[in-house]
Copies of this chain bind each other. A is one copy, B any other.
Amino acid sequence: MAACAFALKLLPLVVTGRFCSSRASYPARSAVRAFSRTVTRSQLHRVEGTGALTGKVDRFGGVTVNLADIGLPADISESSFSRLLQDSLARWKTEGKVAVWLQVPISLSRCVAAASTHGFTFHHAKHDHAVLALWLGEGESRLPGSATHQIGVAGAVVDESNGKVLVVQDRNKTKNAWKFPGGLSDPGENIGATAVREVFEETGVHAEFRSLLSIRQQHNHPGAFGMSDMYMICRLGPLTYDINFCTRECLRCEWLDLAELAKTDDTTPITSRVARLLLHGLEHGFNKIDLSMEELPAVYSGRFYQLYHRQLPPTLKS
């Protein structure tokens, strides 16, 4: 019955749609969404007696099983888990599920090996658990991807009173080039907060976020496991001026003339370019170069996001 309903839902897509080359994630399967529903706790209990794995069904027709929550014996063997999984997969396919997600605590990692024999692959992993996924739907997998980028942030603290900018020489690089202090964002950290934190940690100077200036995107970042890297350079305004730099990371730290930084060879190409951008801003107004930030409420989640773009005249913004 369920398989029939599912097939009927797919019919309009077969007869009317042009062939879509889109590799959009599986939330784009409207037919599946119409079919699926969230399994209630009482329903979960009812199914458990069958000896198959149970999980939550999402609105896209996928099922998520959290191995930490379903009462598996801690010493379950790979072969026992494999049999459980095989039976469950057969059932889910009959029910027309399009995807299966397995959340596996690190201590149960032998179940990962068993799952891989059934076609599961890693979606992602962090700290103490891994998430595996298997596409059961038609055609090319439309599973959403996982995180691909790390975010690096640099903070250029500009003292407008004297045209100087705060720079450091990294202790650990072969060539001691002047750069803006910076580092990787912590998980969940906004880029402005990263800039302010890294500037303080490396130089001892307190500063506040003013604008975003430049973004660099690079792939297969060396030393980052082939990850991609988005490097965001921000303009900050100083709140204090005394330098107390971290000698573990920095060889030197100074307030340097922007004009000098823009001309010197003892810097990186990006730092040089941004120095010239800042010089232009210093001379003609930073509004010529800034991307200003505004925090706005997200429509559905109730959380906030940070939006960056060129500042519009006030009358046009709202």
Contacts and interface: CB of A to CB of B under 8 A. Distances in A.
Interface in A152-203: 171-172, 183-188, 190-191, 198, 201-202
A230 B227 contact: no
A147 interface: yes
A182 B173 CA distance: 39
Contacts of A29: 172, 248
Given A218-B306, A270-B307, 19 more contacts: A13-B248, A20-B248, A22-B202, A24-B202, A28-B172, A28-B248, A109-B112, A121-B127, A122-B127, A124-B124, A144-B224, A145-B187, A147-B148, A147-B227, A149-B149, A215-B307, A273-B309, A276-B316, A291-B291
Interface in A3-62: 13, 16-18, 20-25, 27-30, 33
Contact of A16 (B244, B247, B298): B247
Residue from A16, A107, A268 whose CB has the most chain B CB atoms within 10 Å: A107
Contacts of A299: 268-269
Interface stretch (A65-73, A90-98, A128-136): A128-136
Interface of A: 13, 16-18, 20-25, 27-30, 33, 78, 106-113, 116, 121-131, 144-151, 171-172, 183-188, 190-191, 198, 201-202, 212-220, 222-225, 227-228, 230, 244, 246-249, 268-270, 273-274, 276-277, 279-280, 288-291, 296, 298-301, 303, 305-310, 312-313, 316-317
A270 B309 CA distance: 11
B147 A228 contact: yes
A20 B126 contact: no
